[in-house]
Amino acid sequence: MFAVVRTGGKQYRVAAGDKIAVEKLAGEAGDTVTLGDVLLAGEGDKIADASKVAVSAEIIAQAKSEKVVVFKKRRRHNYRRKAGHRQQLTLLRITAVGDSKAAPKKEAAKAAPAEEAAQAAPAKEAAKKAPAKKAEAGETKPAAKKAAPKKTGATDKPAESKADAAPAKKAPAKKAEKK
């Protein structure tokens, strides 16, 4: 049996035993996840009801994809920027594509995020308390100096005409011609 599932904004055609790399999913190696967004399911030429099909998968590893180089350039402006990016991936092994067999695993997957949230709450509280302890200890940063305002080409005065802006030049005195 095969299924077309959507995860991470992409669609994958999967069958039992397939290995796929998807956008990062929560979990560690060995955990079981259920891919619930099944778009199409079938076996051979026959199409099954996709709402009754669940796909379960095992996380093989959390990894990064190949590096993508981002290079920006503006001609004739001496502007070049080079950066890289490696997308976080989760490698999955599809364990089952079936009707209601994967449904009990779906409930266990929903309970796991709730447990993780409960464990994360004390860590967040400790992080909030840590800055308060520093303030109590009297550790303060020296005041940063303010930078002088940047000068721009435009002034705050309204535009003036050319006659007002530059003083009139005196015409050079003509020398008396000798005859």
Task: Give residue-wise pLDDT tens across range 92-121.
Answer: 999 999 875 444 444 444 444 545 555 555
Sorting pLDDT into bands at 50, 70 and 90, what band is 31?
A: very high
End-to-end Cα separation, the chain, in angstroms: 117
Question: Which amino acid belongs to residue 17?
Answer: G
The verdict on residue 160 lying in a domain is no
Q: Which helix (H) or strand (E) holds 111?
A: helix 103-136
Q: What's the number of domains the chain is made of?
A: 1
Kindly tell me the number of DSSP H helices and DSSP E strands found in the chain.
2, 10
Using alpha carbons, list the distances in angstroms from residue 122 to 38, 118, 119, 125, 134: 36, 8, 6, 5, 19
Residue 176 lies in a domain: no
Q: Using CA atoms in the order 159, 162, 165, 169, what is the torsion angle rounded to 10 degrees?
A: 180
SS3 62: strand
| pTM tops 0.75, yes or no | no
Bridge partner residues of 10 (DSSP): 7
Tokens, residue 124: 């967040």
| Residue 134 is assigned to a structural domain of this protein | no
Residue 7 lies in a domain: yes
Domain that holds residue 16: 2-127
Residue 113 lies in a domain: yes
In percent, the amount of the chain with pLDDT more than 70 equals 55
Asked if 34 contacts 71 with a C-beta cutoff of 8 angstroms, the reply is: no
Task: Name the band, by pLDDT with cuts 50, 70 and 90, for residue 127.
Answer: low
Residue 15 domain flag: yes
Residue pLDDT, tens place only, 35-83: 989 999 998 889 988 888 999 999 999 999 999 999 999 999 999 999 9
Give the up-direction half-sphere exposure of residue 76: CA atoms within 13 A in the CB hemisphere: 0
Residue with tokens 């076996």: 43
Distance of alpha carbon 84 from its chain centroid, rounded? 13
| Rounded Cα distance, 160 and 85, in Å | 51
Calculate mean pLDDT across residues 151-155: 59
